[in-house]
Amino acid sequence: MEQEHWDVLIVGAGLSGVGAACRLQKHCPAKSYAILESRDDLGGTWDLFRYPGVRSDSDMFTLSYSFRPWTHAKAIAGGRAILTYIRDTARQYGVDEKIRFGCRVRAASWSSADARWTLEVERGPEREIVRPTCNFLVMCAGYYAYEDGYLPDFPGVERFRGRIVHPQKWTQDVEYAGRRVLVIGSGATAVTLVPELAKRAAHVVMLQRSPTYMIERPSTDGVADALRATLPQRAAYRLARWKNILLGAYFFRFCRRSPQSAKWLLLRRVRDALGPDYDVETHFAPRYNPWEQRLCLVPDGDLFRAIRNGRASVVTDRIATFTENGVALSGGGEIEADLVVAATGLVLQPLGGVRLNVDGADVDLAKTMIYKGAMFSDVPNLASVFGYANASWTLKADLICRYVARLLNYMDARGYRQCAPHNDDPGVTTSPLVDFSSGLYRRALDRLPKQGSKSPWRWRQNYARDLLMLKFGALDDVAMRFSNPSASLAAPRDRACAPGGAISAG
């Protein structure tokens, strides 16, 4: 059967993949492309997660697409509203017609002789192997494994007579109304779950090994509402977006440069929310400095309200062992529970677990360096979309997608078929990609690329700098190698199939 070929293949039909397709259509309209999605629907995270209260932990003026304004009243939105927004965007731009569902990419091999990637894809429930090809590969598969979340090896867990569920595996048959619920964890998922479960549960305990910094914000944006009431929609959206970008960047720098002042401010706000008699130092004062891990957002103070009214409580201790009725604590005592929710984190999985091979040699991602936060050293014609750790994911994702479009147009105009960043500066030293101390990143350091000590190898968590570099910066800098010229700029491009065709078995 005929092997299909596209100019560009996008892996993943979540927030990033849909955004990448929209940018490709706008800036590179002549390019053929398809989106390969392993699941049966689009939406990524926002279709996968079904636990109660699932919501954004970034404001929607920065989490939404810059080219399609967020018009809902709430700036901190629920998961279903975000999923609807992604689906509506895909439908409006015709991206939904380009998605091939049930196509899981397992491996990708680059051939410099052919200047193309050949993908190994499992298609459908029968897992038929098909091998489409493309000239450029854009990885939008997210940053974590969809199959399973992170679950520590808790001692005695087999003794527990109730139910244990990871939020990533939440299903509609999980019963919590009128029951004693124990939520293990203190990250964004736990902080989202606890106040929502507390509305119907008999009582909810959030058990944390160590505290997390939390910040209360209203779920609506008063400034944005005022702008929308007085200005045209797009102008109001842009101003609200930039207001939140700049405020977020300022607060991050403040936390990093004045950690003690930032800590005092954050804990002061928690004390104001919980009252002078609450033990804030034990339950809400982490051992690390602010923004060494991601801050947890508490919209409208819902977690603090659930604690104040007695519907929820926080315990800071370690689990000694599970028992028949709950968990025994290292510090003594037992928490009884009918349902345990293990909000213990995600499994970081770069590139969606896709194996890479370049001209017959396997790529060890941990031995590469990140280039402009978008590509990997010595890996040709591949961009990976990875958002910010200290701000909205989409801010960085959109910059990378716009950069890819610029790069493709630059190569076409000059007749190049191949580009790959390469470092030949001996003065560049390497360091871990992310300097956050959270377990999500620590557990994956041996699988992540490195960052370099100099630009363009530095992985900066700074939108303004990235905007200048990715949208306006030079494409032919000292680190980027363009090669493999086409036989003739005038020759028609090789295209083995129509853009809308289904993937064929190879």
Q: Does residue 365 fall inside a structural domain? A: yes
Other CB atoms within 10 A of residue 233 CB: 11
Cβ neighbourhood burial of 244 (10 Å; 0-12, 13-18, 19+): buried
Determine the pLDDT at residue 177.
Answer: 98
Within this chain, do residues 188 and 69 fall inside the same structural domain, yes or no? no
Within this chain, do residues 370 and 459 fall inside the same structural domain, yes or no? yes
Give the torsion sign (CA, 281, 282, 287, 291).
Answer: negative
8 A C-beta contact, residue 293 and residue 266: no
Rounded distance between C-alpha atoms, residue 101 and residue 320, angstroms? 44
Q: Does residue 500 fall inside a structural domain? A: no
Q: Which residues pair with 334 in a beta bridge?
A: 328
First-to-final CA distance of the chain: 6
- The string over 321-355, giving b where at least 16 C-beta atoms fall within 10 Å of a residue's C-beta and e elsewhere, is ebbebbbbbeeeeebebbbbbbbbbbbbbbbbbbe
Within this chain, do residues 335 and 411 fall inside the same structural domain, yes or no? no
Rounded distance between C-alpha atoms, residue 355 and residue 119, angstroms? 10
Domain count, the chain: 2
Within this chain, do residues 105 and 173 fall inside the same structural domain, yes or no? no
8 A C-beta contact, residue 38 and residue 9: no
Instruction: Write down how long the chain is.
Output: 506
Q: Does residue 501 fall inside a structural domain? A: no
Residue where the block lists tokens 């051992």: 287
Rounded distance between C-alpha atoms, residue 495 and residue 497, angstroms? 6
Q: Does residue 78 fall inside a structural domain? A: yes
> In this structure, are strands 339-342 and 319-322 parallel, antiparallel, or unpaired?
unpaired
Rounded distance between C-alpha atoms, residue 466 and residue 395, angstroms? 10
Within this chain, do residues 211 and 318 fall inside the same structural domain, yes or no? yes
Of the candidates 26, 19, 11, 10, which has an alpha carbon nearest to the alpha carbon of residue 65? 19
Within this chain, do residues 389 and 287 fall inside the same structural domain, yes or no? no
Within this chain, do residues 53 and 184 fall inside the same structural domain, yes or no? no
Rounded distance between C-alpha atoms, residue 163 and residue 174, angstroms? 9
State which of 309, 326, 342 marks the end of a domain: 342
Within this chain, do residues 48 and 35 fall inside the same structural domain, yes or no? yes
Determine the pLDDT at residue 442.
Answer: 82
CATH of the domain at 351: 3.50.50.60
Rounded distance between C-alpha atoms, residue 144 and residue 131, angstroms? 24
Within this chain, do residues 378 and 319 fall inside the same structural domain, yes or no? no
Determine the pLDDT at residue 440.
Answer: 81
Within this chain, do residues 164 and 241 fall inside the same structural domain, yes or no? yes
Tell me the pLDDT tens digit for each residue of 79-122: 999 999 999 999 999 999 999 999 999 999 999 999 999 999 99
Determine the pLDDT at residue 499.
Answer: 30
Reduced to 3 states, what is the DSSP secondary structure of residue 205?
Answer: strand
Residue where the block lists tokens 């470092």: 423
For the cut 50, the answer to whether the pLDDT of residue 500 exceeds it is no
Tell me the pLDDT tens digit for each residue of 29-49: 999 999 999 999 999 999 999
pLDDT band per the 50, 70, 90 thresholds, residue 3: confident
Residue where the block lists tokens 């997660």: 49
Rounded distance between C-alpha atoms, residue 469 and residue 505, angstroms? 40
Q: What is the mean pLDDT of residues 465-493?
A: 83
8 A C-beta contact, residue 434 and residue 448: yes
As given in the structure block, the two tokens for residue 40 are 């049966």
Within this chain, do residues 228 and 305 fall inside the same structural domain, yes or no? yes
The reported pTM is: 0.93
Q: Which residues pair with 357 in a beta bridge?
A: 109, 362
Tell me the pLDDT tens digit for each residue of 177-201: 999 999 999 999 999 999 999 999 9
C-alpha dist (Å) from residue 143 to 166, 180, 343, 401, 473: 18, 33, 17, 16, 26
User: What type of residue sits at position 16?
Assistant: S
Within this chain, do residues 327 and 354 fall inside the same structural domain, yes or no? no
What value does the mean pLDDT of the chain take?
93
Tell me the pLDDT tens digit for each residue of 429-461: 999 888 777 788 888 888 899 999 999 999 988
Task: Tell me which residue range forms the domain holding 183.
Answer: 157-342
